[in-house]
Structure 1
Amino acid sequence: MSVPVSISPAELYRHGLRLLLAKDIPGWVGLWAEDGVMEFPFAPPGRPTRLAGRAAIADYMRPYPDHIDLHDFPEADLRIHRTTDPRTVVAEMRGVGRLVQTGRSFDMTYIAVVTVEGGRFTSYRDYWNPLAVLEPGVDFTGSSSR
Structure 2
Amino acid sequence: MAEELKLIDTKDKTIQYQSLLPQIEGLLNGEDDLIANLANVSAALKQTFNFFWVGFYLVKDQELVLGPFQGPIACTRISFGKGVCGTAWKQQEIIIVDNVDEFPGHIACSSLSKSEIVVPVRKNGIIVAVLDIDSDEQAQFDETDARFLEQIVKLINF
State the TM-score, normalizing by the size of structure 1: 0.29
Structure showing the higher strand proportion among its residues: 1
Structure with more contact order per residue of length (Cα contacts < 8 Å, sep ≥ 6): 1
Structure showing the higher helix proportion among its residues: 2
